[in-house]
Amino acid sequence: MQDKPNGLPTTQPNGEKLKSIIEVALDRRATMNFARGPVPDEYLDAILLLAGQAPSGYNLQPWRFVVVREEQNRRRLQKVAFKQPKVAEAPVVIICLGMKEEWKARADEIFGEGAERGGLQTESWEQARDGALNFITNFQSMPVWVTRHAMIAVTYLMLVAEAYGFDTAPMEGFDPAGVKAEFDIPDEAEVVALLAIGRAAEPDKKYTGRFSLDRVVYAERYGEPWHQVGQNQATG
Protein backbone atom coordinates (compact mmCIF):
# COMPACT_ATOMS: atom_id res chain seq x y z
CA MET A 1 0.00 0.00 0.00
CA GLN A 2 1.01 3.63 -0.27
CA ASP A 3 2.04 6.23 2.28
CA LYS A 4 0.05 9.42 2.70
CA PRO A 5 0.01 11.36 -0.57
CA ASN A 6 2.16 14.47 -0.78
CA GLY A 7 2.59 17.21 -3.32
CA LEU A 8 -1.17 17.74 -3.51
CA PRO A 9 -2.40 21.09 -4.85
CA THR A 10 -2.65 23.55 -1.96
CA THR A 11 -4.81 26.15 -3.70
CA GLN A 12 -7.82 26.13 -5.99
CA PRO A 13 -6.93 26.02 -9.71
CA ASN A 14 -7.38 29.83 -9.94
CA GLY A 15 -4.88 30.37 -7.11
CA GLU A 16 -7.51 31.14 -4.47
CA LYS A 17 -7.07 29.54 -1.09
CA LEU A 18 -8.80 26.28 -0.29
CA LYS A 19 -12.21 26.52 1.32
CA SER A 20 -12.34 25.83 5.05
CA ILE A 21 -14.24 22.81 6.29
CA ILE A 22 -17.06 25.14 7.40
CA GLU A 23 -17.27 26.79 3.99
CA VAL A 24 -17.21 23.36 2.38
CA ALA A 25 -20.13 22.13 4.49
CA LEU A 26 -22.16 25.29 3.92
CA ASP A 27 -21.38 25.97 0.25
CA ARG A 28 -21.82 22.48 -1.19
CA ARG A 29 -24.95 22.03 -3.29
CA ALA A 30 -26.06 19.05 -5.32
CA THR A 31 -25.53 20.83 -8.61
CA MET A 32 -28.26 20.32 -11.20
CA ASN A 33 -26.49 21.69 -14.28
CA PHE A 34 -22.81 21.86 -15.14
CA ALA A 35 -20.87 24.29 -17.29
CA ARG A 36 -18.26 23.17 -19.80
CA GLY A 37 -14.64 23.00 -18.71
CA PRO A 38 -12.47 20.18 -17.42
CA VAL A 39 -11.34 19.19 -13.96
CA PRO A 40 -7.53 19.35 -14.36
CA ASP A 41 -5.87 15.95 -13.98
CA GLU A 42 -3.78 16.92 -10.95
CA TYR A 43 -6.96 18.04 -9.15
CA LEU A 44 -8.87 14.93 -10.08
CA ASP A 45 -5.98 12.80 -8.79
CA ALA A 46 -5.86 14.84 -5.58
CA ILE A 47 -9.62 14.44 -5.05
CA LEU A 48 -9.33 10.67 -5.57
CA LEU A 49 -6.22 10.36 -3.39
CA LEU A 50 -7.80 12.28 -0.54
CA ALA A 51 -11.04 10.31 -0.82
CA GLY A 52 -8.89 7.22 -0.44
CA GLN A 53 -7.94 8.46 3.04
CA ALA A 54 -11.51 7.75 4.20
CA PRO A 55 -11.82 5.35 7.11
CA SER A 56 -13.22 1.85 6.68
CA GLY A 57 -13.81 -1.11 8.95
CA TYR A 58 -10.46 -2.84 9.48
CA ASN A 59 -9.09 -0.51 6.76
CA LEU A 60 -10.49 -2.90 4.14
CA GLN A 61 -11.34 -0.08 1.68
CA PRO A 62 -14.03 -1.98 -0.25
CA TRP A 63 -14.77 1.00 -2.53
CA ARG A 64 -13.83 1.15 -6.21
CA PHE A 65 -14.32 4.05 -8.63
CA VAL A 66 -14.82 4.08 -12.38
CA VAL A 67 -13.96 7.56 -13.63
CA VAL A 68 -15.95 8.40 -16.75
CA ARG A 69 -14.74 11.40 -18.72
CA GLU A 70 -15.12 10.58 -22.43
CA GLU A 71 -18.22 12.28 -23.76
CA GLN A 72 -19.52 9.17 -25.51
CA ASN A 73 -19.19 7.22 -22.28
CA ARG A 74 -20.94 9.88 -20.24
CA ARG A 75 -23.77 9.73 -22.75
CA ARG A 76 -23.92 5.94 -22.35
CA LEU A 77 -24.00 6.45 -18.60
CA GLN A 78 -26.72 9.08 -18.94
CA LYS A 79 -28.94 6.54 -20.71
CA VAL A 80 -28.84 4.26 -17.67
CA ALA A 81 -29.21 7.21 -15.26
CA PHE A 82 -32.76 8.22 -16.18
CA LYS A 83 -31.35 10.66 -18.76
CA GLN A 84 -30.22 13.08 -16.02
CA PRO A 85 -28.70 16.02 -17.94
CA LYS A 86 -25.85 16.51 -15.47
CA VAL A 87 -24.38 13.10 -16.39
CA ALA A 88 -23.70 14.29 -19.92
CA GLU A 89 -22.84 17.87 -18.92
CA ALA A 90 -20.28 17.32 -16.15
CA PRO A 91 -16.72 16.71 -17.34
CA VAL A 92 -16.28 13.91 -14.81
CA VAL A 93 -18.77 11.36 -13.54
CA ILE A 94 -17.56 8.73 -11.12
CA ILE A 95 -19.32 5.40 -10.79
CA CYS A 96 -18.91 4.54 -7.11
CA LEU A 97 -18.85 0.86 -6.23
CA GLY A 98 -18.75 -1.27 -3.13
CA MET A 99 -17.22 -4.70 -3.70
CA LYS A 100 -18.83 -7.58 -1.85
CA GLU A 101 -16.09 -10.15 -2.62
CA GLU A 102 -12.98 -8.56 -4.03
CA TRP A 103 -11.86 -7.00 -0.74
CA LYS A 104 -11.34 -10.45 0.76
CA ALA A 105 -8.40 -11.10 -1.57
CA ARG A 106 -6.66 -8.00 -0.19
CA ALA A 107 -7.16 -8.83 3.48
CA ASP A 108 -3.72 -10.45 3.93
CA GLU A 109 -1.99 -7.41 2.50
CA ILE A 110 -4.01 -5.02 4.66
CA PHE A 111 -3.57 -6.88 7.93
CA GLY A 112 0.07 -7.84 7.23
CA GLU A 113 1.06 -4.31 6.32
CA GLY A 114 -1.05 -2.83 9.11
CA ALA A 115 0.99 -4.92 11.56
CA GLU A 116 4.29 -4.00 9.88
CA ARG A 117 3.44 -0.31 10.13
CA GLY A 118 2.68 -0.74 13.83
CA GLY A 119 -1.02 -0.06 13.48
CA LEU A 120 -2.43 -3.36 14.73
CA GLN A 121 -2.76 -3.94 18.41
CA THR A 122 -2.86 -7.72 18.37
CA GLU A 123 -0.18 -10.33 18.60
CA SER A 124 -0.96 -12.04 15.33
CA TRP A 125 -2.26 -10.27 12.25
CA GLU A 126 -3.51 -13.62 10.94
CA GLN A 127 -5.76 -13.94 13.98
CA ALA A 128 -6.97 -10.37 13.55
CA ARG A 129 -7.70 -11.07 9.87
CA ASP A 130 -9.66 -14.21 10.67
CA GLY A 131 -11.67 -12.37 13.34
CA ALA A 132 -12.49 -9.59 10.88
CA LEU A 133 -13.50 -11.99 8.11
CA ASN A 134 -15.70 -13.90 10.51
CA PHE A 135 -17.34 -10.72 11.83
CA ILE A 136 -18.00 -9.23 8.42
CA THR A 137 -19.14 -12.33 6.59
CA ASN A 138 -21.27 -13.78 9.42
CA PHE A 139 -22.59 -10.72 11.23
CA GLN A 140 -23.00 -8.05 8.57
CA SER A 141 -25.33 -7.62 5.65
CA MET A 142 -22.88 -7.38 2.76
CA PRO A 143 -24.82 -4.78 0.70
CA VAL A 144 -25.16 -2.61 3.80
CA TRP A 145 -21.51 -3.11 4.75
CA VAL A 146 -20.11 -2.11 1.37
CA THR A 147 -22.55 0.78 1.00
CA ARG A 148 -21.61 2.10 4.45
CA HIS A 149 -17.98 2.27 3.44
CA ALA A 150 -18.28 3.37 -0.15
CA MET A 151 -20.52 6.29 0.84
CA ILE A 152 -17.92 7.62 3.27
CA ALA A 153 -15.43 7.69 0.41
CA VAL A 154 -18.05 9.33 -1.85
CA THR A 155 -18.57 11.97 0.84
CA TYR A 156 -14.83 12.61 0.95
CA LEU A 157 -14.86 12.99 -2.84
CA MET A 158 -17.63 15.59 -2.61
CA LEU A 159 -16.10 17.57 0.22
CA VAL A 160 -12.56 17.59 -1.14
CA ALA A 161 -13.84 18.63 -4.58
CA GLU A 162 -15.74 21.48 -2.90
CA ALA A 163 -12.63 22.58 -0.99
CA TYR A 164 -10.80 22.81 -4.33
CA GLY A 165 -13.61 24.98 -5.68
CA PHE A 166 -15.43 22.40 -7.79
CA ASP A 167 -19.11 21.53 -7.72
CA THR A 168 -20.54 18.03 -7.38
CA ALA A 169 -23.76 16.09 -7.76
CA PRO A 170 -24.33 12.76 -6.01
CA MET A 171 -26.90 10.54 -7.71
CA GLU A 172 -28.96 7.51 -6.85
CA GLY A 173 -31.09 7.90 -9.97
CA PHE A 174 -29.64 5.13 -12.13
CA ASP A 175 -30.34 1.55 -13.10
CA PRO A 176 -27.61 -0.51 -11.39
CA ALA A 177 -27.95 -3.44 -13.80
CA GLY A 178 -27.70 -1.07 -16.76
CA VAL A 179 -24.64 0.69 -15.29
CA LYS A 180 -22.96 -2.66 -14.69
CA ALA A 181 -23.67 -3.93 -18.19
CA GLU A 182 -22.47 -0.73 -19.89
CA PHE A 183 -19.20 -0.48 -17.95
CA ASP A 184 -18.14 -4.13 -17.51
CA ILE A 185 -18.67 -3.99 -13.77
CA PRO A 186 -18.56 -7.38 -12.02
CA ASP A 187 -21.76 -8.88 -10.68
CA GLU A 188 -20.55 -8.79 -7.09
CA ALA A 189 -20.36 -4.97 -7.14
CA GLU A 190 -22.93 -2.78 -5.46
CA VAL A 191 -23.30 0.42 -7.49
CA VAL A 192 -23.76 2.81 -4.58
CA ALA A 193 -23.81 6.19 -6.32
CA LEU A 194 -22.78 8.24 -9.30
CA LEU A 195 -20.92 11.44 -8.57
CA ALA A 196 -20.61 14.24 -11.10
CA ILE A 197 -17.76 16.73 -10.60
CA GLY A 198 -17.22 19.97 -12.49
CA ARG A 199 -18.36 23.57 -12.34
CA ALA A 200 -21.96 24.58 -11.80
CA ALA A 201 -23.70 26.39 -14.60
CA GLU A 202 -24.86 29.66 -13.02
CA PRO A 203 -26.97 30.02 -11.00
CA ASP A 204 -26.27 26.95 -8.86
CA LYS A 205 -29.14 25.16 -7.16
CA LYS A 206 -30.78 27.03 -4.28
CA TYR A 207 -30.34 25.93 -0.68
CA THR A 208 -33.45 23.97 0.32
CA GLY A 209 -33.07 24.01 4.11
CA ARG A 210 -32.35 21.49 6.84
CA PHE A 211 -34.10 20.26 9.98
CA SER A 212 -33.26 22.07 13.19
CA LEU A 213 -31.21 20.06 15.69
CA ASP A 214 -34.17 19.47 18.01
CA ARG A 215 -35.80 17.43 15.22
CA VAL A 216 -32.89 15.13 14.48
CA VAL A 217 -30.65 15.01 17.56
CA TYR A 218 -31.44 13.35 20.88
CA ALA A 219 -29.58 13.46 24.15
CA GLU A 220 -28.45 10.18 25.71
CA ARG A 221 -31.46 8.17 24.49
CA TYR A 222 -33.78 8.23 21.53
CA GLY A 223 -36.56 10.76 21.96
CA GLU A 224 -34.84 12.80 24.70
CA PRO A 225 -34.64 16.39 23.42
CA TRP A 226 -31.27 17.88 22.57
CA HIS A 227 -30.88 21.46 23.74
CA GLN A 228 -28.73 23.47 21.44
CA VAL A 229 -26.51 26.00 23.21
CA GLY A 230 -25.16 29.22 21.83
CA GLN A 231 -26.52 31.69 19.36
CA ASN A 232 -25.37 29.95 16.22
CA GLN A 233 -28.83 29.18 14.95
CA ALA A 234 -29.21 29.69 11.26
CA THR A 235 -31.14 32.73 10.15
CA GLY A 236 -33.27 33.05 7.06
Q: Which stretch binds ligand FMN (CB under 6 A): 3-11, 63-71, 170-178, 179-187?
A: 170-178
Nearest approach, Cβ of 180 to ligand FMN (angstroms)? 17
Per-residue b/e over 115-139, b at no fewer than 16 CB within 10 Å? beeeebeeeebeebbeebbeebeee
Contact letters (x/-) for ligand FMN, 49-88, by CB under 6 A?
-----------------------------------x----
Query: What type of residue is 104?
Result: K
29 binds ligand FMN (CB under 6 A): yes
10 contributes a contact to ligand FMN by CB under 6 A: no
Q: Hey, which bits of 9-118 come out as E strands?
A: 63-68, 92-99
- Please say which residue, 110 or 153, places its beta carbon nearer to ligand FMN: 153
- Which of 17-25, 100-108, 120-128, 169-177 is the region at the interface with ligand FMN (rule: CB under 6 A)? 169-177
167-171 and 63-68 as β-strands: parallel, antiparallel, unpaired?
A: unpaired
Binding of residue 208 to ligand FMN (CB under 6 A): yes
If the CB atoms of residues 4 and 206 are measured against ligand FMN, the closer one turns out to be 206
* Amino acid, res. 152: I
Query: Min. distance of Cβ 96 from ligand FMN in angstroms?
Result: 10
Q: Does 173 bind ligand FMN (CB under 6 A)?
A: yes
Q: Does 172 bind ligand FMN (CB under 6 A)?
A: yes
Residue in the shown chain whose Cβ atom is closest to ligand FMN: 173
193 binds ligand FMN (CB under 6 A): yes
Taking the complex as a whole, the smallest distance from the CB of residue 100 to ligand FMN amounts, in Å, to 19
Listed in sequence order, the residues at least 6 apart from 150 whose beta carbon sits closer than 8 Å to its beta carbon are 62, 63, 96, 97, 98, 190, 192, 193
User: Looking at beta carbons only, is 62 or 170 nearer to ligand FMN?
Assistant: 170
Binding-site size for ligand FMN (CB under 6 A) equals 10
CA distance 214 to 224: 9
Count CB atoms within 10 A of the CB of residue 169.
Answer: 24
At residue 98, the 3 state secondary structure works out as strand
- Neighbour order of strands in the sheet with 167-171: 63-68, 92-99, 189-198, 167-171
Q: Looking at 71, 205, 218, 224, which residue binds ligand FMN (CB under 6 A)?
A: 205
CB 97 within 8 A of CB 195: no
Q: Is 176 within 8 Å of 192 (Cβ atoms)?
A: no
Q: Is 200 in the site for ligand FMN (CB under 6 A)?
A: no
What are the residues binding ligand FMN (CB under 6 A)? 29-30, 84, 170-173, 193, 205, 208
